[in-house]
Amino acid sequence: MKNTALQRPQPVRWDHGTLYLLDQTRLPLETVIDPYTTVEQVWDAIRRLKVRGAPAIGIAGAYGLVLAMRSQQHLTHEDFLAQLDTQAAYLDSARPTAVNLHWALQRLLRQARQLHQQPVPEIYQALEQTAIQIHAEDRQLCRRIGDHGRPLIKTGMGILTHCNAGALATAELGTALAPLYLAHEAGVSFRVYADETRPLLQGARLTTWELQQAGIDVTLICDNMAATLMAQDCIDMVIVGTDRVAANGDVANKIGTLGVAILAQYFQIPFYVACPLLHHRLRHPSGEAIVIEERAQDEVTHLGQRRTAPVGMAVRNPAFDVTPHTLVGADHRARNLAASYGETLRAGLWPRSSRRLNQRFDASY
Query: What is the separation of C-alpha 227 from the centre of its chain, rounded to a whole number of angstroms?
Result: 24
Residue closer to ligand MRU, measured from CB, 53 or 61:
53
Residue-wise DSSP of 325-350:
GGG-BS-HHHHHHSTT----B-SS--
Burial code (b: 16+ CB inside 10 Å, e: under 16) for 164-203 equals bbbbbbbbbbbbbbbbbbbbbbeebebbbbbbbbbbbbbb
Q: Active-site residue 243, yes or no? A: yes
| 253 assigned binding-site residue | yes
254 binds ligand MRU (CB under 6 A): yes
Quick one: 160 or 169, whose CB is closer to ligand MRU? 169
The nearest distance, CB 217 to ligand MRU, in angstroms, is 21
Taking CB under 6 A as the rule, does residue 175 contact ligand MRU? yes
Choosing from 195, 243, 250, 321, the catalytic residue is: 243
Nearest approach, Cβ of residue 55 and ligand MRU (Å): 5
Rule CB under 6 A: is residue 344 a binding residue for ligand MRU?
Answer: no
Residues between 317 and 336 that touch ligand MRU (CB under 6 A): 319
Residue 171 in contact with residue 139, Cβ under 8 Å?
A: yes
Find the helix packing angle between 178-185 and 120-149, rounded to 10°. Answer: 60
Question: Which segment (31-39, 85-93, 161-169, 356-364) binds ligand MRU by CB under 6 A?
Answer: 161-169
Contact 237, 270 (CB under 8 A): yes
Cα dihedral: 56, 57, 58, 63 (round 10): 90
Chain mean position to CA 21: 16
Instruction: Give least dist CB 78 to ligand MRU, A.
Output: 36
Known catalytic residues? 243
Residues binding ligand MRU (CB under 6 A)? 49, 52-55, 98, 163, 165, 169-170, 175, 202, 240-243, 253-254, 319
